Amino acid sequence: MSNPQDQENQSLGKANVPAGGFASIERAFLRLTFWQTLLSLAGVFTGGVALYAALSESEAVRQQTAATVWPYVQVTIRDFVQDDKAEFSLEVTNAGVGPARMREMQLLIDGEVYRNWRAVLAAFLDAEVAESVRYGRSDVTGRVLSPGDSLVSFRTNDRATVEGMQGAIYAGRVSLSYCYCSIFDDCWLAVISAIGGPEPVPVEQCPIYGADRFDN
């Protein structure tokens, strides 16, 4: 038999919970969970947009900074033969607005690698004659050229040498490759021949010619 007091308590408990009360609480909880989820997603989206904006701004600043230190290395050939005078020179100039670090250079004649100027002379002259030719030279590989700096990689007044080099270069037998980098390690590779060549192209890193490097 039920205790009268227990019956009274059960009656009071039922009286305190309105009809449909549990369903209302559940709906309220679901609404709260929905808005919390929506706010969380909005926060993630806002954070993603902010991160993207920060990265874009950082890249734009880097590109702007890189443009202020952009090197541009040109190679110029100067040559003439007139009466009893002759001259041939190969000049390297940084025409950009930032320092250029000269990394690698390679010189080919008829597709064959030549490693120094003495070997180049021997390609145009008798080996014994080539040994007696007087010329001036400057190291290029490993140098840092400031904006506006120039250096003469090779120069000679020997007529036979000048004529030999003119003939080979303007016949398209000679190809010169060189690679240089900015202070941010942005690098460019250029390949030139008698009729010039394309603009230096960006590369991830300079090629390593090793034993085939031109030793100026």
**pLDDT at 67 (0 to 100):** 67
> Residue 39 corresponds to which tokens in the numbers above?
């706010």
CB 81 within 8 A of CB 162: yes
Residues 34 and 80 in one domain: no
CA-CA distance, 72 to 100, in Å (whole number)?
7
CA-CA distance, 214 to 216, in Å (whole number)?
6
pLDDT, tens digit, for every residue of 74-87? 999 999 999 889 99
Residues 52 and 107 in one domain: no
Residue 15 has pLDDT above 60, yes or no: no
Positive/negative CA dihedral, 107, 108, 114, 117:
negative
DSSP class of residue 86 equals E
CA-CA distance, 56 to 104, in Å (whole number)?
33
Residues 159 and 122 in one domain: yes
Which of 106, 80, 83 lies closest to 165 in space, CA to CA? Answer: 80
**pLDDT at 207 (0 to 100):** 96
Residues 143 and 43 in one domain: no
Burial (Cβ within 10 Å: 0-12, 13-18, ≥19) of residue 211: exposed
Q: How far is the first Cα of the chain from the last one, in angstroms, to the nearest whole number? A: 114
Percent above pLDDT 70 for the chain: 72
- Single out the residue in 52, 67, 82 at which a domain terminates: 67
CB 180 within 8 A of CB 103: yes
Residue 12 has pLDDT above 70, yes or no: no
**pLDDT at 11 (0 to 100):** 47
Q: How many CB atoms lie within 10 A of CB 16?
A: 8
How would residue 130 be classed by pLDDT, with cut points 50, 70 and 90?
confident
* Listed range (19-23, 178-182, 197-201, 205-209) with the worst mean pLDDT: 19-23
11 residue type, one letter:
S
**pLDDT at 128 (0 to 100):** 83
Residues with Cβ within 8 Å of 69's Cβ and at least 6 positions away in sequence, in order, are 97, 98, 99, 182, 183, 184
* Higher pLDDT, residue 14 or 107: 107
pLDDT, tens digit, for every residue of 111-120? 999 999 999 9
How would residue 8 be classed by pLDDT, with cut points 50, 70 and 90?
very low
- What is the three-class DSSP state of 207? coil
- Single out the residue in 15, 40, 67 at which a domain terminates: 67
Q: Residue 163 belongs to what domain range?
A: 73-212
2 belongs to a structural domain: no
175 belongs to a structural domain: yes
Structural domain count, the chain: 2
The answer to pTM > 0.85 is: no
